[in-house]
Structure 1
Amino acid sequence: MTAPDPLTAPGIARRLACLFYEAFLAFAIALATAFVFSVFTQMRHALRGREALAVAIVLVLGLYFTWCWSRGRTLPMQTWRIRIIGPQGGAPSLARAWFRYVLCSVWLLPPLAFFAHQRVTDWKPVTAVLLGWIVFWALLSRLHPQRQFWHDAWAGTRLVDVAKPPAAS
């Protein structure tokens, strides 16, 4: 059996499963951030201070992902045996990890910008456009020579397979 090409990304299904797990973890971090923010600012009404809360959540998530990526992986990446590497083959620097975090906004901003100037009363179209965009963006990785996501190519990072541990005898 030959070893997988280290330049080729893990399969798209595995990367999307990891992304789904990351979304659950990010949601939990966002909830904890919102709780701490509301306690410290003595937030009494959900609509007051929501812009500052959104900025706080984006920054806390940025710190979490940047810190984890600069060490090579997040918990979901570890679970799905995926590692992130920089141009020299090791974990990316903090600056490169932060740049990757900024570029990862391409997963959410285009579909959300589509609905930005509308009052949304039905979330089904938003969900459909968001999920459709995520699938479309993920499939665009098939056009990359090493099957990497484009934000990784632009950030100078790569997602690689981590060898499966040998089975205990």
Structure 2
Amino acid sequence: MTDPSPTPAPPRTLILWRLLSLLYDVWPVLAMWFVVAIPFVLVDVAASGNVRHNVEPFSLLAWLQWGCCWLVTGLYAVLSWRRGGQTLGMRPWRLKVVAADGAAPTAGALWRRYALASLSTLAGGLGFWWAWIDRDRLTFHDRFSGTRMIRLPKRR
């Protein structure tokens, strides 16, 4: 009997699909960030009394806003991965996040994956490029969260 799980794609191809899915996921994430920003803008306007007031880039309010955006993005990713293994951007490219053994990953593993992927992105995507040298073609956040990304076969 053959193993029904898909085999890992070559790193270059999988990295391309990951980047394309991230590009697709930018749009729902930006929409969520706009919604998250509304209360912060209202608080800033109420505090300054001026709609054109510029928020200081390193103020507590700005850091809190970015923290909320990061958390909302994490909720989007983790809940999508828990529900079906895919975000909206992963669906057209048939990508899916699974545990290392092929089962559904735990919420803790998915939060670790998200946190490490965030750090990787801030470091110029180094954790994503790790797949080029990893023997199992896993990114840094795949390896250390106990998850992996697979490409699903085409539907017939």
Q: TM-score range by the shorter chain?
A: 0.7 to 0.9
CA distance in 2, matches of 1:106, 1:21: 20
Please state if 1:23 is matched with 2:13. Answer: no
- In the alignment, structure 2 segments of 5+ residues that lack a partner are 46-52
**TM-score, length basis structure 2:** 0.76
Q: 1:150 Cα deviation (Å)?
A: 1.4
4+ residue runs of structure 1 moved beyond 6 angstroms?
Answer: 2-5
Q: Which residue of 2 aligns with 1:68?
A: 80
State the one-letter code of the partner of 2:73: L
Match of 2:133 among 133, 143, 152: 143
Query: Does the Cα contact within 8 Å between 2:127 and 2:141 map onto a contact in 1?
Result: no
State the one-letter code of the partner of 2:44: M
Q: 1:143 Cα deviation (Å)?
A: 0.8
**TM-score, length basis structure 1:** 0.71
Match of 1:55 among 64, 67, 76: 67
Please state if 1:164 is matched with 2:123. Answer: no
Percent identity of the aligned residues?
30
Q: 1:46 Cα deviation (Å)?
A: 4.5
Match of 1:152 among 115, 118, 142: 142
CA distance in 2, matches of 1:96, 1:27: 25
Report 1:1-169 matches (<5 A).
6-9=6-9, 11-39=14-42, 42-44=43-45, 45-47=53-55, 49-71=61-83, 72-110=85-123, 133-134=124-125, 137-166=127-156
Query: Does the Cα contact within 8 Å between 1:66 and 1:101 map onto a contact in 2?
Result: yes
How many residue pairs align between the two structures? 140
Superposed CA RMSD: 2.5
Deviates most, 5-14 or 145-154 = 5-14
State the one-letter code of the partner of 1:80: W
Q: 1:153 Cα deviation (Å)?
A: 1.0
CA distance in 1, matches of 2:135, 2:149: 13
